[in-house]
Amino acid sequence: MPEKIPEPSAEKLNLLWLQSNGCGGCSMSLLCAESPDLLTSLESAGINLLWHPSLSEASGSELQAVLARILAGELRLDLLCLEGSVITGPQGSGRFHILAGTGRPMMDWIRTLSAVARHVVAVGTCATYGGITAAGGNPSGATGLQYDGADRGGLLGRDFVARDGLPVINIAGCPTHPNWVTETLVQLAIGAFSEQEMDELGRPRSYTNHLVHHGCPRNEYYEYKASAEKPSDLGCLMEHLGCLGTQARADCNTRLWNGDGSCLRGGHACVNCTAPGFEEPGHAFNETPKVAGIPVGLPTDMPKAWFVALASLSKAATPKRLKENAVADHVVVPLRSLT
């Protein structure tokens, strides 16, 4: 971990990581990066970590000095990463969040640094869309860097582009998978990231070209609509327990966390945390809203009429093994050979 602000390098890209309004969970997740670990990933990609609030010993006046050098043009800023939402309250002044020792709102620092950064990266759903910090009436005026919820704009405005010509890169997730972050930074460092690599909400397609549903260990239950009725059950969580894995854009079940984990593997329904507005679904996270007994949230890539028809057929054909195991907390009917 850097003990002081590293000197700039002509060959390496300089990365500055700031935290605004959030829990720090994305940084905690980032520390779990493996094969390789975070610092090895940065070093191998030629990225020079100028400062990180959790990883760097330097603080206070030392950080202020590096910010001054960046704004004076003495220190090149290639990668600006923001974790946590931007606080604009009260009344647009940003004075709910002052960068310690400067007397200046963090909102202003972020806007000024973004103007000179080669690449601007929002890490986590708070930084991208406002996230959890924008829930509950949003008294702090929390917003994302270039989005306020699903609406383009945010702090920097809908037309903002960094010095490289790209808009803000939104690595959404609550928290982000560590490899979503390191992969994107490496792509930027080697010049392999363009606007074509971003989806309609500014997220890297490397992970949003997938659904959480892909690779879900409960997919056999889903195919036969053998549904869980309580959290400990083995069945599919979509019909009754709020799972949005068939709509959520992420590769959580194929790019596992810490080698072998995901929300669904841990028994929790997917809440679609990579999407704007996930923090306030309008109902309990573990409940599936329905109309006439049909779930409101259906798979994104299937017409509703088809889904309803196929669901009816699937339920009629559900094997006894799946039907009984779906509502149990362990396998009660084992798989048996038909021979």
> If you write DSSP's letter for every residue of 130-143 in order, what string do you get?
-GGGG-TT-TT-EE
pLDDT for the residue 1: 46
Nearest to 85 by CA among 150, 20, 176: 20
Q: Is residue 227 pLDDT above 50, yes or no?
A: yes
State pTM to two decimals: 0.92
pLDDT for the residue 311: 75
Confidence bin at 5 (pLDDT 50/70/90): low
Domains of the chain from N-terminus onward: 13-208 (3.40.50.700), 211-329 (4.10.480.10)
pLDDT for the residue 314: 84
The residue that leads in pLDDT, 220 or 298, is 220
When pLDDT is averaged across residues 106-113 and rounded to a whole number, the result is 98
pLDDT in tens, 271-289: 999 999 999 999 999 999 9
Q: Parallel, antiparallel, or unpaired for β 98-99 and 147-148?
A: unpaired
Q: Is residue 185 pLDDT above 70, yes or no?
A: yes
Share of the chain above pLDDT 90, in %: 82
* Kind plus residue range of the DSSP H or E element containing 164: none
Q: Is residue 8 pLDDT above 60, yes or no?
A: no
When pLDDT is averaged across residues 206-218 and rounded to a whole number, the result is 95
Question: What is the rounded CA–CA span in Å between residue 250 and residue 219?
Answer: 16
pLDDT for the residue 4: 53
pLDDT in tens, 283-306: 999 999 988 777 877 777 777 777
Joined together, the tokens standing for residue 32 give 């779990």
When pLDDT is averaged across residues 107-114 and rounded to a whole number, the result is 98
Nearest to 243 by CA among 205, 251, 235: 235
Nearest to 49 by CA among 168, 203, 189: 189
Nearest to 49 by CA among 83, 86, 23, 81: 81
pLDDT for the residue 296: 78
Helix (H, G, I), strand (E, B) or coil at 323: helix
When pLDDT is averaged across residues 71-81 and rounded to a whole number, the result is 97
pLDDT for the residue 163: 97
Joined together, the tokens standing for residue 98 give 């002052």
Confidence bin at 259 (pLDDT 50/70/90): confident
Residues 67, 73: contact at Cβ < 8 Å? no
Question: What is the rounded CA–CA span in Å between residue 77 and residue 131?
Answer: 26
Nearest to 86 by CA among 132, 169, 20, 26: 20
Confidence bin at 337 (pLDDT 50/70/90): low
Cα dist. 212→199, 242, 247, 264, 288 in Å?
16, 14, 8, 9, 17
Name residue, tokens 């829930």: 135
pLDDT for the residue 117: 98
* Kind plus residue range of the DSSP H or E element containing 62: helix 61-71
Q: What is the mean pLDDT of the chain?
A: 92
When pLDDT is averaged across residues 225-229 and rounded to a whole number, the result is 94
pLDDT in tens, 18-60: 999 999 999 999 999 988 999 999 999 999 999 999 999 988 8
pLDDT for the residue 250: 97
Structure letter (DSSP) for residue 195:
G
Share of the chain above pLDDT 70, in %: 96
pLDDT for the residue 10: 54
pLDDT in tens, 132-163: 999 999 999 999 999 999 999 999 999 999 99
Burial class (CB in 10 A: 0-12, 13-18, 19+), 295: buried
Joined together, the tokens standing for residue 229 give 């009725």
Nearest to 302 by CA among 241, 238, 221: 238
Q: Is residue 226 pLDDT above 80, yes or no?
A: yes
